[in-house]
Structure 1
């Protein structure tokens, strides 16, 4: 397990990329006009348009796990609210809700 990134809704991707790069972050990865990953070398922020936001309009923590199915099964058995895993362009992910009611994205990378 590791913190993958923080997903930030992007209403104006170009303007937001400009803003964050002016803060000193560098572009690590870009997926067209849908998603841009920026980093300071340690933390990654993923600017996501509506099609790439697991919970539209919400800033979300994203946690990478080795085995998504095992992880969501364990969380569900412990009583967590767990969404069905869905494929993304680069990962499989599920939105789970922590005990405080905050949605969190749990994902595994696609091979």
Structure 2
């Protein structure tokens, strides 16, 4: 059997080839759709923010970017932000959630729903950004967000 091509995009599909042979191939997702999204944050659910901060800053040596009370903190994770949030500020407590920046939160939420996922909350505006909290088609939590224009 040849190289597993699924990693290059798209689900497997059976096609009938010449001479009545069957071969496996895949449908590619257009590249333009993917380029509209930028994974920027991984949000972890924590019960005690102080203990979690001690672990990530003390044990792993990550730098604290900012903290919001006893319920949210952002750490420098290199190319992504590692966010620690208690149930007060976590969009789906108990789950790991990936934050994805996009120019059109509403379109992203619609695409998730049309593709077999589910909208948990939103799209909605909070103090700083437009957000939509969703599950993908496998139950993984995602937050699509776009900064609001400053007033």
TM tier relative to shorter chain: 0.7 to 0.9
Contact 1:24/1:40, CA 8 A, preserved across alignment:
no
Structure exhibiting the larger radius of gyration computed from Cα positions: 2
Equivalent residue number for residue 69 of structure 1: 106
The partner residue of 1:95 within 122, 126, 133 is: 133
Shift in CA distance, 41/103, structure 1 to aligned 2, threshold 3 Å = closer
1:69-111 Cα shifts (integer Å, max 9, x gaps): 1222233333432233233343222122212222211122233
Shift in CA distance, 79/99, structure 1 to aligned 2, threshold 3 Å = closer
SS at 1:64 equivalent: strand
RMSD over aligned Cα atoms: 1.8
- Mark the runs of 5 or more structure 2 residues left unpaired by the alignment: 1-36
The alignment covers a number of residue pairs equal to 111
- Mark the runs of 5 or more structure 1 residues left unpaired by the alignment: none
1:45 paired with 2:95, answer: no
Structure 2 length-normalised TM: 0.65
For 1:1-111, what aligned pairs fall within 5 Å after superposition? 1-22=37-58, 23-83=60-120, 84-111=122-149
CA–CA distance in structure 2, aligned partners of residues 91 and 57 of structure 1: 23
CA–CA distance in structure 2, aligned partners of residues 17 and 107 of structure 1: 24
What stretches of structure 1 move > 2 A for 4+ residues in a row?
Answer: 73-80, 86-92
- Higher RCO by CA contacts (8 Å cutoff, separation 6 or greater): 1
